[in-house]
């Protein structure tokens, strides 16, 4: 949902940029962003139990929906064991590296796509409008990934394919001559397909990280990595490389290839972990040690490594 909303916002942001270009005077445009951010920080509830509009029965039903993933909801007891597990958990570092390279790319696309359009020979106003299809491509990519991933239970493979298409777009952006404006436009639009990786990372963090302390720390790490990538990305565009910014585009291509490789590695890792758990359960059943039924394991705030019933959701 986060990735879909982000992609949808990209469509409207492009239109808003077009409107802002036509505003005259000293209007504080930035105030709108600060007002929205303050509202989002203060108003949304922290959990289903804090919401005011549902009935108690509806709240309980909302909580029951998360039982199946066995990751729990909230537990304020700080557990150092879960932090230690986070440090040695390969999936956390794969997700962190994945979000860094993805946000580095999205930082470039978000901040400088209008500049690239302008360098193709379009006016400033038209360059803002040409950003709208970029958001539409991102939105469509997220929807297609969600549908195919749900149907075939393999979102990581879908993400890898879209990252390869994004790399193709970066290749067009980097090496086509300036006279081929149609191909350059297609390259920028294809590069926006990498947005699906953000959708993948946030979904996997929610679905595959058990233990409240570990999940909170993992989200903090991943959001910090997201911010880091968005800080680094715009720095790739140096004035000395204008107007084509070839070095930045090549870095864009390399990071998109890296994204595809890491997404494929995640798919392999989750499949391996699921096979290990299946094999352990099989041996326990054969030895007569797997007969005990643990009731309500979903609410025990247990870590991933100790949840023998937990299966990694292969996105």
Three-state SS for 296? coil
pLDDT at 152: 81
**Cβ 190 vs Cβ 169: under 8 Å:** yes
CA proximity to 165, closest of 146, 201, 189, 132: 189
User: Residues 6 or more apart from 301 whose CB is under 8 A from it?
Assistant: 72, 75, 77, 79, 211, 212
Decide: residue 155, CB within 10 A, 0-12 exposed, 13-18 middle, 19+ buried.
Answer: buried
Q: Give the mean pLDDT per block of 10 residues along the chain (315 residues).
A: 52 51 52 74 74 78 64 65 88 92 77 75 76 83 84 80 88 84 87 84 83 86 90 82 80 87 89 85 74 49 48 50
CA proximity to 315, closest of 259, 256, 271: 271
User: How far apart are alpha carbons 15 and 132 in whole angstroms?
Assistant: 7
CATH superfamily of 2-16+80-286+299-306: MFS general substrate transporter like domains (1.20.1250.20)
pLDDT at 94: 92
pLDDT at 105: 78
The alpha-carbon radius of gyration of the chain (Å, integer) is 22
- This prediction's pTM: 0.72
Decide: residue 281, CB within 10 A, 0-12 exposed, 13-18 middle, 19+ buried.
Answer: middle
**Cβ 106 vs Cβ 228: under 8 Å:** no
Structure-token pair, residue 9: 């916002």
CA proximity to 90, closest of 79, 102, 98, 81: 98
Structure-token pair, residue 91: 């999936």
pLDDT at 251: 84
pLDDT at 306: 43
What are the domain boundaries of the chain? 2-16+80-286+299-306
Query: CA end-to-end span of the chain, whole Å?
Result: 14
**Cβ 267 vs Cβ 273: under 8 Å:** no
């Amino acid at each position: 949902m986060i990735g879909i909303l982000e992609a949808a916002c990209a469509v409207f942001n492009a239109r808003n940029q077009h409107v802002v270009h036509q505003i005259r005077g000293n209007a504080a445009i930035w105030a709108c962003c600060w007002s929205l951010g303050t509202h989002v920080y203060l108003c949304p509830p922290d959990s289903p139990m804090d919401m005011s509009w549902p009935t108690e029965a509806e709240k309980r039903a909302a909580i029951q929906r998360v039982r199946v993933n066995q990751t729990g909801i909230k537990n304020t007891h700080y557990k150092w064991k879960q932090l230690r597990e986070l440090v040695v958990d390969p999936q956390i570092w794969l997700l962190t590296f994945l979000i860094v390279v993805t946000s580095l790319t999205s930082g470039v696309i978000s901040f400088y796509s209008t500049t690239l359009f302008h360098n193709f020979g379009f006016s400033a106003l038209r360059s803002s409008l040409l950003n709208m299809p970029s958001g539409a491509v991102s939105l469509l990519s997220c929807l297609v990934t969600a549908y195919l991933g749900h149907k075939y239970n393999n979102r990581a493979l879908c993400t890898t394919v879209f990252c390869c298409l994004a790399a193709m777009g970066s290749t067009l952006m980097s090496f086509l001559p300036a006279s081929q404006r149609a191909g350059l436009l297609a390259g920028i639009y294809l590069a926006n397909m990498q947005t699906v990786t953000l959708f993948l990372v946030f979904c996997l963090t929610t679905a595959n990280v058990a233990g409240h302390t570990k999940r909170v720390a993992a989200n903090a790490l991943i959001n910090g990595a997201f911010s880091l990538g968005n800080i680094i990305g715009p720095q790739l565009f140096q004035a000395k490389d204008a107007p084509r910014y070839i070095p930045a585009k090549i870095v864009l291509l390399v990071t998109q290839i890296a994204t595809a490789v890491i997404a494929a590695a995640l798919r392999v890792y989750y499949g391996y972990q699921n096979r290990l758990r299946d094999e352990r359960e099989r041996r326990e059943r054969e030895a007569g040690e797997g007969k005990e039924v643990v009731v309500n394991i979903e609410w025990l705030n247990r870590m991933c490594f100790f949840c023998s019933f937990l299966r990694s959701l292969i996105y």
